[in-house]
Amino acid sequence: MEKQWWKKAVIYQVYPRSFQDTNGDGIGDIPGIIKRLDYLEDLGVDAIWLSPVYQSPQDDNRYDISDYQDIYPPFGTIQNMEELIVEAQKRHIGIIMDLVLNHSSDEHFWFQEAKKSRNNPYHDYYVWRDGEEGCPPNDMQSGFGGSAWEWVPELRQYYFHQFSIKQPDLNWYNPALRQELYDVVNWWIDKGVAGFRLDVIDQIAKDPDTGSITDNPNLHPFIKELSRNTFGKVDLNLVSVGETWSATPENAPLFSNPDGSELSMVFQFEHMVLDQQGRVKWDLTPLPFIQLKQTLSTWQTALHGKAWNSLFWDNHDLPRIVSRWGDEGEYRVISAKMFATLLHGMEGTPYIYQGEELGMTNIRLPIEGYRDLETRNIYRFRMKQGYPEEEIMRSIYAQSRDNARTPMQWDDSAQAGFTTGEPWIAVNPNYKQINAAAQVRDEHSVYSYYKKLIRLRKEIPVIVDGVYELLLAEDPSVFAYTRTNDTQKLIVICNFYGQECEIDIPALVPEGSELLLANYEDEGTMNQFRPYEARMYLFPITV
């Protein structure tokens, strides 16, 4: 494996519960992923980011792990997992395990022991504070609503949970706990995985007394120690991706220094929260487009040569990009390809979330149809607070995590070929129009377009290493930029909106450039950009 192979890689995220069911219980499983490896090989991806498959009571779909070294039975067994790793390897696809080291499930053996008594050896694996019932140590709120402190009457103590009550935070200040976690990581390394995605890794050094969750003095020492003892050992050549909501262009080089002492790359969301009021995901405001350009461009420029970034529009926590900022209707295919072009020309490692390569869309369900605890909680909280129900549902349609979690649409048979039984969450009714089988055989499909973009990244060095420059920064509808190295210049020009616009192409694209890729079949008119039109040009620099 080439060193830093992940700089040229494209990573595909699989959310196993919704990917492919093979035994008719309505739940995706590991044999289902194995069954679809040929599809992923054809697409051309280098690695799979596998959302958690561990043993878990499913409060938060396995982001609440009760055994890091066992598999959630409906997904399969450790043997299935070993087979997946081997079968993927045969197709040159690495498996990136999603590890949640910030918290465990309350049903984990450690927590079961921890709450037996204050003297139990596992007690200090978690974050406890003394207090009085009904009077938590402070008013910190959990990510999924309600107090971040939960009272345990037997101990007359509170434990801290940044996420749900069933996700108690682990106490990283305890060296014994840290060693347990390293053992877990190394156990997975021995199974032959290609690396790790580390859930909310910027929160492990939290100080719940001051309320400071992310930027604490011990954060980077902790990550360094983790890396040194596990995936960071150089001969392993593993990839490590840190989910880091708090990363900034300034501190990203700490997390992902090219010296390899911490993580391969950050995965941060600054561009994905711009359409929210006060960072409350349910309170939306129109996307400030100029700011989106600035944000993405700042990250491009600030990290060049100093750190490495992830490129994404979608994941299992985010709504579908075509529904969010593109067009789910007439221009669904065109806008899906525009978003792909815009992102895949940038510096960083692109991520494709399952179904994004088909242009899958959001879903609208009656409230009983939603499965995600965050969605159910916000509905309850806001109903209690007296919000009008239509307004709550509008927020949920736009932002619920279940938008991304409906089953993968494989073909136009019943339940989209996802299951022969009752799916755990509804299949999007548009599967007859939007499905993989149809797109794989159609050279003009969103799928085929992603395939080309993935290939271009392998063939054209400037896509990996070029210096980024934003063009037309103030243009209200065009997102255009160049990437330049010694021998090539890549020019990416996208109309971000559904109205035509005029662009002076000869001013941006030097004569002698080749049109590498475009999202309309016919060339159209040079300076007239149609709705969501995207073009990618390559100019050979003669030296």
* Catalytic residue list: 199, 243
Asked if 281 is part of the footprint of ligand TEU (rule: CB under 6 A), the reply reads yes
Neighbours of 330 (CB within 10 A): 11
Q: Give the β-pairing of 54-55 and 94-99.
A: unpaired
Residue 535 interface partner, choices ligand TEU, Ca ion, none, CB cut-off 5-8 Å depending on type: none
Q: In the chain, count H helices and then E strands.
A: 16, 22
Cβ nearer to ligand TEU, comparing 163 with 424: 163
Instruction: Tell which positions 71-130 bind ligand TEU, by CB under 6 A.
Output: 100
Q: How far is the CB of 182 from ligand TEU (least distance, A)?
A: 20
The owner of tokens 């902790």 is 222
Integer Cα distance of 13 and 26 in angstroms: 20
Q: How far is the CB of 415 from Ca ion (least distance, A)?
A: 12
Site pattern 133..162 for ligand TEU (x: CB under 6 A) = ----------x-------------------
* φ/ψ (deg, to 5) at 341: -60, -50
Choose among 59, 62, 77, 66: nearest CA to 23: 77
- Comparing every residue's Cβ against ligand TEU, the nearest one is 63
Site pattern 17..46 for Ca ion (x: CB under 5 A) = ----x-x-x-x-x-----------------
Query: Which residues on neighbouring strands pair with residue 128, listed in sequence order?
Result: 159
Q: How far is the CB of 161 from ligand TEU (least distance, A)?
A: 10
Instruction: Tell which positions 221-280 bind ligand TEU, by CB under 6 A.
Output: 245
* Alpha carbon 85 to its chain's center: 21
Q: How far is the CB of 243 from ligand TEU (least distance, A)?
A: 6
Integer Cα distance of 137 and 139 in angstroms: 7
Q: Among residues 63, 75, 188, 289, which is the contact residue for ligand TEU, using CB under 6 A?
A: 63
Integer Cα distance of 358 and 448 in angstroms: 9
Cβ nearer to Ca ion, comparing 80 with 519: 80
Q: How far is the CB of 214 from ligand TEU (least distance, A)?
A: 11
Half-sphere exposure of 79 (CA within 13 A, CB side): 0
Asked if 374 is part of the footprint of ligand TEU (rule: CB under 6 A), the reply reads yes
Integer Cα distance of 312 and 46 in angstroms: 16
Residue 63 interface partner, choices Ca ion, ligand TEU, none, CB cut-off 5-8 Å depending on type: ligand TEU
- Per DSSP, 490 falls in state E
Integer Cα distance of 467 and 489 in angstroms: 9
Integer Cα distance of 355 and 320 in angstroms: 9
Q: How far is the CB of 431 from Ca ion (least distance, A)?
A: 18
* Alpha carbon 370 to its chain's center: 20
Residue 29 interface partner, choices ligand TEU, Ca ion, none, CB cut-off 5-8 Å depending on type: Ca ion
Residue 100 interface partner, choices ligand TEU, Ca ion, none, CB cut-off 5-8 Å depending on type: ligand TEU
Integer Cα distance of 43 and 425 in angstroms: 26
**Total residues at the site for ligand TEU (CB under 6 A)?**
13
Instruction: Tell which positions 157-186 bind ligand TEU, by CB under 6 A.
Output: 163
Residue ranges in contact with ligand TEU by CB under 6 A: 60, 63, 100, 143, 163, 199-200, 245, 281, 316-317, 374, 401
Binding stretches for Ca ion (CB under 5 A): 21, 23, 25, 27, 29
